[in-house]
Amino acid sequence: MKPLYIFVLFTLLLTSCTSKKSTPSANIIQTAIAETQLAQSARQRQVESPIPNTQEVITPAPQQLPATNIPSTSTVFSSNKLITLIPYNYQMNDVGGGWNSGRVNIAIANMTNEIIRFKYIIFSGIIIETKEGQTYNAQIDMTSTVGWEYAGGLSALTDNTLGYESLIIPGTQFSKLVASVPPLEYSISWRSATAATPIKVVFNDFPDLSFNLPNEKGGELSFPFITTPISIQSVDALKGVKIQLDNEKIEANFTGMCHKQESTSYSNLYLIEFSIKNEDAFQESTFTSLGINSVMYLENGGYGYYNDPIYPESRENIHRLSNNQGFIIGPGQNAITFIIGGEIRGGRDEYSGKVYSALIWPDGSYSFYDLTSCPQK
């Protein structure tokens, strides 16, 4: 019986020892060891794997636009707090019968720190307020600066419309649309009693644009800059500056050269030169956009805006597409073409002041260039 007893006792002891190895605390230790090993393995894989470029997969939160960025606005402003109207050249003439004829020119100014995308405003009513409390109706006039009869251009716009598609740069103002045919300037006119003293122009549906009339007759403005100085460079500062076309196979760079060219008997063009090269040696390439806008400012208040400033002319090795939607350049070819920096139409020989061109770059920044000394071609 003793051998059997000893065997049973040994079996019970072995079972007890085995059950002690499966205690909760032992499992916790084993789990902690396993988790540590997994974490070490994960860290090791992280070191061995390349770090992804988060900028390619994460869109950053929108940031405040820099001061020179172009804000998005509606075609017809519902609120025109951005632009400012400035009166000048105030005139009152006695026309008899107890009546005066009043007129004041207006400049469109940008007194903000952002480029203003301006289209047009249609006014339902304009009122002249007087010191005596009487009011009189007024209207906006578009007057030719060269004595022509007005035709075309803005003819689709209704009466009492102030408008011209434009990008207005901070700290600038203009009063004449010298890129239109004929050149036009804006003014407000009215008739009031000789006994009345006009003191204010009120726009019924855009009161923020209302302004007080000058105390004195006459009055001039300094164009085109409201505040000075704005940094103005010579065209040769553009030499070597790259233009980002909408076709990466074409390389484009400014040459730092410009010239003045007679376009018609009524127009002078100011052209800024750039070179292009088709890097594809086997196929022709096309491009449609420069991504650049140009704005012309003159010292007499003249203004011109060009949202497609490529000079529309076929030249050696480069030709305009038949649908007028771009240009084509042959395989491996080099060519010279131009950006329209400005255009003076009508009375071009009468203007002898400075000609400034502002180039608005794709990122919304801008820079001014003096085209006055561009040679005649």
Counted domains in the chain: 2
Q: Residue 20: its pLDDT value, please? A: 39
Alpha helices in the chain (DSSP H): 2-20, 24-48, 54-57
**CB neighbour list of residue 174: distance below 8 Å, 6 or more residues apart:** 107, 108, 168, 223, 224, 297, 301, 302, 303
How many angstroms separate the CA atoms of 42 and 32, rounded? 15
Are 342 and 260 contacting, i.e. CB atoms less than 8 angstroms apart? Answer: no
Ramachandran angles phi, psi of 29, nearest 5°: -60, -45
Q: In this structure, are 205 and 104 located in the same domain?
A: yes
Q: In this structure, are 203 and 281 located in the same domain?
A: no
What share of residues in the chain are helix, strand, coil (percent, to 5)? 15, 40, 40
How many angstroms separate the CA atoms of 242 and 240, rounded? 6
Q: In this structure, are 204 and 134 located in the same domain?
A: yes
- Domain end (from 212, 243, 264): 212
pTM of structure? 0.72
- Domain end (from 177, 212, 247): 212
Domain for residue 43, yes or no? no
Cis peptide before 182, with omega less than 30 degrees from 0?
Answer: yes
From 160, 88, 162, select the one nearest 118 (Cα to Cα): 162
**CB neighbour list of residue 59: distance below 8 Å, 6 or more residues apart:** none
Q: Residue 368: its pLDDT value, please? A: 95
Q: Residue 293: its pLDDT value, please? A: 93
Q: In this structure, are 201 and 310 located in the same domain?
A: no
Given a cut of 50, the residues of the chain with pLDDT beneath it are 1-80, 147-158
From 278, 275, 280, 285, select the one nearest 328 (Cα to Cα): 285
CA 138 to mean position of chain CA atoms: 33
How many angstroms separate the CA atoms of 224 and 218, rounded? 19
CA 253 to mean position of chain CA atoms: 21
Q: In this structure, are 260 and 301 located in the same domain?
A: yes
Q: In this structure, are 244 and 201 located in the same domain?
A: no
E strand or H helix at 126, and its extent? strand 126-130
Domain for residue 346, yes or no? yes
**Amino acid letter at 321?**
L
Q: Residue 77: its pLDDT value, please? A: 33
Are 314 and 328 contacting, i.e. CB atoms less than 8 angstroms apart? Answer: no
Q: Residue 51: its pLDDT value, please? A: 23
Beta strands 232-234 and 366-370, pairing class: parallel
Domain assignment of residue 94, given as a range: 83-212
Q: In this structure, are 252 and 196 located in the same domain?
A: no
